Structure 1
Amino acid sequence: MPNRSDTRVITPGLLRDWALPVPTGGKDNRGTVLVIGGSRFTPGAVLLAGVAALRAGAGVLQLAAAESTAAALSIQVPEAMVVGLPETDDGAVAGDPGDRLGDLVAQADVVAVGPGLNDIDQTRALLRLVLSAAGPRTALVFDAYALGALSHEPDLLVGADRRVVLTPNLTEARHLLGRDPGDDLDADSRELARRYEAVVSLYGHIATPDGQGWREESGDAGLGTSGSGDVRAGLLAGLLSRGAEPAQAACWAAWVHAVSGQRLVPRFGRIGFLARELLDEIPHTIATV
């Protein structure tokens, strides 16, 4: 495992030397991923994240989303168990969804929170529920509105000794930092990792709380498309589920996400592919390392 304090460029050679675990046996040995998100109007975010987790190697997938979307999600993702969560009048997932979600969190190996959520206050309550119910070794991925909620409770992870990865885009990083990100995203990712005591994957810049850093340089403009971040969050969750450590999973996810986009360029051009088209590229991209 890399241990120098300077930022390293993520290459296939680095990843080969930091090989992903290859679980043996049945699906339970590849872990359970629970994705919590999906308002009434954004169920596709949960779908993208969940399928990405499966493509990355997760054994069992569970989706928890607004109850009005549950039937459609269960048809679209027949591989998953889908649980409908109570909604607010505006279609947001309610922050007090009952004991069933807590039970699912307690049993999951990885919990990804955020894709498709759309209410900061309700999401803050969901984060507190997740942290209360999750076991000490449960890996957590915070994305999208979960990051906005975390910026309102910056001490939520401090001292918790959790296996957490934060996946902010530049807008979410601004909320977490309390300022605009600068030109040095390596430094900004390290600042976020120290402040929130979590691994951070910021626009291809990965950092750990102890100051280690990596940078992915293959990403292109095409990844800036609706749903792409949901795919990356789910990909990361799937790698954690199969046994990768948080920094390892973040580095692999950044590279696989970027190179999967590159593989679509000959067919769709640099900015013509859709986030859902990244999903089928994930297994082959991982296998080519």
Structure 2
Amino acid sequence: MADVLSPALLREHPLPEPTGGKDARGGVLVLGGARATPGAVLLAGRAALRVGAGRLTLGVAASVAGPLAVAFPEAGVLGLPEDADGAVTGPGDALGRELDRADVVVVGPGLDAPEGTLALLRAVVAGAPGTTPLVLDAFALGVLRDAPDVRDAVRGRAVLTPNAAEARRLLGEDPADAPDEGADDDDPVAARLADAYGTVVVCAGVVAEPGGRRWRSSTGYSGLGTSGSGDVLAGAIGGLLARGATLAQAACFGTEAHGVAGDRLAAAVGPLGYLARELVDELPAVLVGLRTR
């Protein structure tokens, strides 16, 4: 059975509280953002900073790097190679330096082409130090099942954040067989995926670590199922990892903070209709509440 996440449980495993400047809180590198979807990277990056990360660099298709840098002055922005349709085609020449200095790398938000995504993932696992944790989301999960070299490289150092359909695809199952969220409590797909891939997995409100414990969120309205919400979750987990949290700890705190942010907005706006960007702005106060309630 999964332990239920709660402020009392989370207080037993407090987040690291670094002192000093931004470098002490770690640097996050978010890679994604095809020409049509740079907002996914913006949401993930903002979430990383809102949970306390100190530095942020965003990698997006080169054609939207300039506008994104203007829209998000708190972040450094790196242009990635793209094709005529605006899909990211690979890492480019400047990524190596950013991988060297990143404390965590988030890959996937806003990517939309399998070949370019796989090239980017291979560059990350080859170029980032072996101790650098990774968060894989969205299209990065779509190519992972058929890339055994990348699967081997991320074992023990990654958090995967699939939805239920993506999780079943990663397991080689029919995504159409996915039950409603919360319907498979006795054998959550997150736990099976964690064991299969050797990573921490967050899926449908369940956090699982390979061969070990699992936790279930106590919160979260259906309004969380909105465009960009998963990008916020991936970025929040990345920001907590940058602060020094363990993989499972960052996944648990990120999952619960994401759900409580949804609860707050459900009360203020309604159970449906709030936006992912509004979740981001709730995160600092939510984390304070999780530490002190």
After TM superposition, the score normalised by the length of structure 2 is 0.93
The offset of 1:173, in angstroms, is 1.0
Distance in 2, Cα, partners of 1:194 & 1:158: 13
1:164–1:246: 8 Å Cα contact kept in structure 2?
A: yes
CA separation of 1:173/1:241 partners in 2, compared to 1, >3 Å: closer, same or farther? same
The residue aligned with 1:92 is 87
Q: 2:96 aligns with which of 93, 102, 105?
A: 102
The residue aligned with 2:286 is 285
Deviations 1:192-211 (CA, angstroms, capped at 9, x unpaired): 11111110001111111122
CA separation of 1:59/1:130 partners in 2, compared to 1, >3 Å: closer, same or farther? same
After superposition, residues 13-24 of structure 1 pair within 5 angstroms as: 13-24=8-19
The residue aligned with 2:63 is 68
2:145–2:151: 8 Å Cα contact kept in structure 1?
A: no
AA in 1 matched with 2:28: V
The offset of 1:268, in angstroms, is 1.3
The residue aligned with 2:161 is 167
Unaligned runs of at least 5 residues, structure 2? none
Distance in 1, Cα, partners of 2:208 & 2:88: 31
Distance in 2, Cα, partners of 1:81 & 1:56: 18
Distance in 2, Cα, partners of 1:14 & 1:159: 32
Distance in 1, Cα, partners of 2:42 & 2:215: 29
AA in 2 matched with 1:187: P
Distance in 1, Cα, partners of 2:289 & 2:171: 36
After superposition, residues 1-289 of structure 1 pair within 5 angstroms as: 6-95=1-90, 97-154=91-148, 156-158=150-152, 161-179=155-173, 180=175, 181=178, 183-184=183-184, 186-289=187-290
Runs of 4+ in 1 over 3 A off after TM superposition: 159-162, 180-183
Distance in 1, Cα, partners of 2:268 & 2:191: 36
1:137–1:162: 8 Å Cα contact kept in structure 2?
A: no
CA separation of 1:56/1:141 partners in 2, compared to 1, >3 Å: closer, same or farther? same
Farther off after superposition, 262-271 or 241-250: 262-271
The offset of 1:171, in angstroms, is 2.1
The offset of 1:212, in angstroms, is 1.4
- Alpha-carbon RMSD across the aligned residues, in angstroms, is 1.4
Distance in 2, Cα, partners of 1:91 & 1:117: 10
1:154–1:196: 8 Å Cα contact kept in structure 2?
A: no
1:48–1:234: 8 Å Cα contact kept in structure 2?
A: yes
The offset of 1:155, in angstroms, is 5.3
Deviations 1:66-111 (CA, angstroms, capped at 9, x unpaired): 011111111111000001111012211112x323112211220000
Distance in 1, Cα, partners of 2:169 & 2:225: 19
The offset of 1:154, in angstroms, is 4.4
2:241–2:247: 8 Å Cα contact kept in structure 1?
A: yes
AA in 1 matched with 2:33: G
| Identity in percent | 54
AA in 1 matched with 2:98: L
Distance in 1, Cα, partners of 2:265 & 2:155: 39
- Count of residue pairs the alignment pairs up: 283
Distance in 2, Cα, partners of 1:54 & 1:203: 24
AA in 2 matched with 1:245: T
AA in 2 matched with 1:35: V
Unaligned runs of at least 5 residues, structure 1? 1-5
